[in-house]
Amino acid sequence: MDDDEADVDGAGDGPPVPALAERAAACADALRDADSVLLASHIDADGLTSAGIASTALERANIPHDVVFSKQLDDEEIAGIAAHDHETVLFTDFGSGQLDAITDHEDHGDFTPVVADHHQPAEDADTEFHLNPLLEGVDGGKELSGAGASYVLARALLGEDATDLAALAVVGAVGDRQTVDGELVGANTRIAVEGVAAGVLDTAKDLALYGTQTRPLPKLLEYASEVYVPGITNDQQGAIRFLDGLDVDLHDGGDWRTWADLTHDERQTVVSALVQRAVRNGVSGDEVTKLVGTTYTLTDEAPGTELRDASEFSTLLNATARYERADVGLAVCLGERGEPLEAARELLRQHRRNLSEGLEWVKREGVTVEDDLQWFHAEDRIRETIVGIVAGMALGSDATESDRPIVAFGTKDGDDPDGEEEVKVSARATPGLVEDGVDLSVVLRDASQAVGGDGGGHEVAAGATVPAGDERAFLDAASDILAEQRRADD
């Protein structure tokens, strides 16, 4: 590791998040007392790693359990969970925002809930076994992910025998976009330190572009969206000319090498030249600094694979979940390779195609820009499971305005058993908008409830479900809340 990597002194000598130790211990005791547990988790990268950590911990603690996944934890989903033959239900990466419905089932004796989550808790509702950083003043949007909460629970359940699971917790945090200025912060840092001490994680300052393990060098630079470098970004021939102009052998036989193939000195040469090119082309200093950040490497995984890098690992997991194959993502998190990994890779290829097509659709059709937000309705042209990702990609492109959040609607998959059609809503903001007072978790929760739906999430990204036909009413309510948030920050 480099000299500026995480200091591992003291790792493993106490709880990873002391503020949560008492809650984690109580939750662990509840799980030990259970005859069997139903583990219910969200389906994104953070949810899958949460489930992987929790399932592994339960297995090691000899606690029988089954695992189920859900795209969104609504009343119907909770009722389905209650119908399972388990007296205890462990909710990971969701549950806090649905405690009102969960506690209704608890009060009826359907199950004992244990919740390990990091989303905004429901107002005026709580349960005895509730592990959430927000309840103890720890930022659940930046400092501890759902996987991090599951890791804190695993440590309470197993002690230091759980520290190897820190690598998955870091994958979950990175997948939940919890890096700040290129690195994890707060409680996530402590977890990363434990992973380094356990020998399953390595951290270093390096090129902070997606695809360093798997993309050939020209593709790495061409597709980099983190920093736009004129003449290289989105320019295949420009990226090739830039690399060919360096005094470094960047080919392996007839093929381009990957970033992972390069030596330290070769990497330094490329980074130095890339920074110089960016500065000469007018890229701001703040943007240039984004080219280098903290990387998180899973040392037990094979070099040159998606699983070696936390960012690429999380993207692979997202691809499995978005296409109703959470079972594949969980299998990979549990250490299975071979067929599950190949299936995940094929889903990732499909995922990338769909994202590209979705973004092109938004650019072609455009968005409706209003005073406090901008929006588009994809109907069934973009899968509801990826419409939020596409919205985030659009917000970072020239297809949208950057000074207001974006709201995306998509037709929900499947038929509602009550015959009522629903629409999926996803919203994204920029960190700058959050600094200006925007909190999308509140916006989507309150605006969706105003039209008979339900929602929540984080300040910078949130989701909801609303009745079909009430989109305009939802947008009006969301606009009012956003305007109030911006005024309150003035």
Residue 312: C-alpha distances to residues 93, 220, 296 (Å): 20, 12, 10
Over its C-alpha atoms, the chain yields an Rg (Å, rounded) of 22
CA dihedral over 328, 199, 64, 35, signed as positive or negative: negative
SS3 (DSSP) at 66 = strand
- b/e code 126-143 from CB counts within 10 Å (16+ = b): ebebbbbbbeeebbbbbb
Q: Which of 29-38, 279-288, 292-301, 374-383 has the lowest mean pLDDT?
A: 279-288
Pair 243, 326: CB distance under 8 Å: no
Residue 256: C-alpha distances to residues 178, 187, 292 (Å): 32, 38, 22
* pLDDT at site 270: 95
Question: Helix 387-395 vs helix 339-365: angle between axes, to the nearest 10 degrees?
Answer: 50
Q: Are β-strands 461-467 and 422-428 bridged in parallel, bridged antiparallel, or unpaired?
A: antiparallel
Domains detected in the chain: 18-200 (3.90.1640.30), 207-354 (no CATH), 366-489 (3.10.310.40)
Asked whether the predicted pLDDT for residue 1 surpasses 60, the reply is no
Per the confidence metrics, is the pTM higher than 0.85? Answer: no
Per the model's pLDDT, the better-predicted residue between 318 and 322 turns out to be: 318
231-256 residue pLDDT tens:
998 888 999 999 999 988 898 888 99
Asked whether the predicted pLDDT for residue 459 surpasses 70, the reply is yes
* pLDDT at site 431: 80
Pair 50, 172: CB distance under 8 Å: yes
Q: Using 50, 70 and 90 to split pLDDT, how confident is the model at 12?
A: low
SS3 (DSSP) at 40 = strand
Asked whether the predicted pLDDT for residue 2 surpasses 70, the reply is no
Phi, psi dihedral angles at 424 (to 5 degrees): -85, 135
SS3 (DSSP) at 255 = strand
What count of Cα atoms within 13 Å lies in the side-chain half-sphere of residue 56?
A: 27
Q: What whole-number distance in Å separates Cα of residue 256 and Cα of residue 372?
A: 46
Q: Which of 427, 441, 436 is nearest to 487 (CA)?
A: 436
* pLDDT at site 6: 39
Q: Which of 50-64, 90-104, 382-396 has the lowest mean pLDDT?
A: 382-396
Q: What whole-number distance in Å separates Cα of residue 272 and Cα of residue 232?
A: 15
% of the chain surpassing 90 pLDDT: 74
Mean pLDDT of 444-456: 93
Pair 20, 148: CB distance under 8 Å: no
68-100 residue pLDDT tens:
999 888 889 999 999 999 999 999 999 999 999
Q: What whole-number distance in Å separates Cα of residue 435 and Cα of residue 431?
A: 6
Q: Which of 137, 118, 166 is nearest to 18 (CA)?
A: 137
